[in-house]
Amino acid sequence: MTERYQNYIDGSWTDAETGDTLETTDPAAPSETVAEYQESGVEDANAAVEAAAAAEDEWAETPAPQRGAILRETATILADRKEELTDLLTREEGKTHAEAGGEVQRAIDIFYYYAEKTRDLGGSVKSASGPRTNLYIKDEPVGVAALITPWNYPIAIPAWKIAPALATGNTLVLNPASVAPGVALEIFDALDEAGLPDGVANVVTGPGSTVGDAIINHEDVDAVSFTGSGEVGHMVYDQATNDGKRVQTELGGKNPTVVTDSADVEEAAEIVANGAFGVTGQACTACSRAIVHTDVYDEFVDAVVAQAESIEIGPGDEYDMGPQVTESELEGTLDYIEVAENEGATLATGGNEPEGDRFGEGYYVEPTVFSDVDNDFRIAQEEVFGPVLAVIEVEDFESGLEAANDIDYGLSASIVTDDHTEAERFVDEVESGVAKVNDKTTGLELHVPFGGFKQSSSETWREQGDAGIDFYTIEKTVYDSF
């Protein structure tokens, strides 16, 4: 039986005023409907923002540890439901069971983390220059937050926006991507069960061009947090800043791993393959460029091809790599594969839709490796968002670092080397918000800042850790003389 979801507005589950619904399907078996959602409109979005605005003062005045208790209980409820949430995420987004379970656990951990952070909120005390004066800084919530999230991490990204917003006393409205919104709505079910007051957190499903636009532009919204494509993100940034709103955007990536001549080639190939083909390459931090020293280039290509060919493709509950999330995402990846071949890159492995009974009509593509790629090829400059790796040959460390930075994006980057001096230089000089040594470009700790440089971010505010708290708070300096 198809699960049916409603909007959550002012503490109640309600149908959209439009009367319209939308369905999600299993990307491994597109003829199978997973769930039905509300295809909401502007009226629903406005109602959600109005509910958040009405609840703003009371929630801000709630002692932070009490807010934390609700977040802690939410985490416990999500943990109790981890297996069913994992199954829903796999069926709706296509991740493998292991990948989906890891993402659900991350969301749980995020709520636990920010629950504990509430004990330390409030501000700081400073020494005044004169006598009989208390000088302190008081941290206050920004107000109502509009949150727009993508489909590729459908529970982790909402969690790392929702939890710090609520911990710091803000109210919010979430518009999750329509492709896989189920696990995000389950967060609100858990918040409701945990005792969150009415109106504090609201979620409205429906097109971002309608619902997202309405909440971003609503006069009662004070802050906007967006994760998604660069094209949409730049429009969101312009809209929000034109209205004087606080805004953060996290956008795309074209992430390199530099492999030096001192690297263990087999280890490097495994690191790159995990970063390139994990979550079917559908991560903004996925490794899509391997920049390899000429002395180990041929050996590396052979090794990473072997890694790619060892990956078993199929439905996420049984295999190593699942399908792409939609037919349009698959078509986009196949288009880039054709572009790469036309540019003159060598297709070393993959590049096709696999055939066989287990694939059915699913949106599958083989893990794909291109060699003989120039760094100015489109396949090396544009975000593919699929399991496609471009391998670029360079003469030395200097040219490798130059190639890594010769890109409009700057989200995540890594180096594989046994030379500590090279590692230190890479960390100092690479133009990316995340820099890793002897590790894959994907994978993030939840208690440190996350964000990009250049076209990967608005470069305004970071997410996660204390940076997540910073975005949702504003400082008031108090001089108390008596």
Q: Who contacts 372 (Cβ-Cβ below 8 Å, separation ≥6)?
A: 344, 345, 346, 391, 393
| Domain 255-437 belongs in CATH node 2.70.210.12 | no
Q: Catalogue the active-site residues.
A: 284
For the record, the structure tokens of 300 come out as: 């590396």
Q: Where are the domains of the chain?
A: 3-251+458-481, 255-437
The predicted structure's pLDDT at residue 482: 74
H helix runs in 228-358, sequence order = 230-242, 265-277, 297-309, 327-343
SS3 state of residue 257: strand
CB of 233 within 8 A of CB of 455? no
The predicted structure's pLDDT at residue 1: 65
For the record, the structure tokens of 462 come out as: 């970071």
Angstrom CA distances, 411 to 251, 257, 397, 427, stand at 8, 12, 20, 13
Rounded CA gap, 111 and 226, in Å?
Answer: 19
- Pick from 190, 185, 402: nearest CA to 289: 402
The predicted structure's pLDDT at residue 249: 96
What is the pTM assigned to this prediction? 0.96
CATH no. of 3-251+458-481: 3.40.605.10
pLDDT tens, the chain, 482 aa long: 688 999 999 999 999 999 999 999 999 999 999 999 999 999 999 999 999 999 999 999 999 999 999 999 999 999 999 999 999 999 999 999 999 999 999 999 999 999 999 999 988 999 999 888 999 999 999 999 999 999 999 999 999 999 999 999 999 999 999 999 999 999 999 999 999 999 999 999 999 999 999 999 999 999 999 999 999 999 999 999 999 999 999 999 999 999 999 999 999 999 999 999 999 999 999 999 999 999 999 999 999 999 999 999 999 888 999 999 999 999 999 999 999 999 999 999 999 999 999 999 999 999 999 999 999 999 999 999 999 999 999 999 999 999 999 999 999 999 999 999 999 999 999 999 999 999 999 999 999 999 999 999 999 999 999 999 999 999 999 999 97
Output phi, psi for 322, to 5 deg: -90, -170
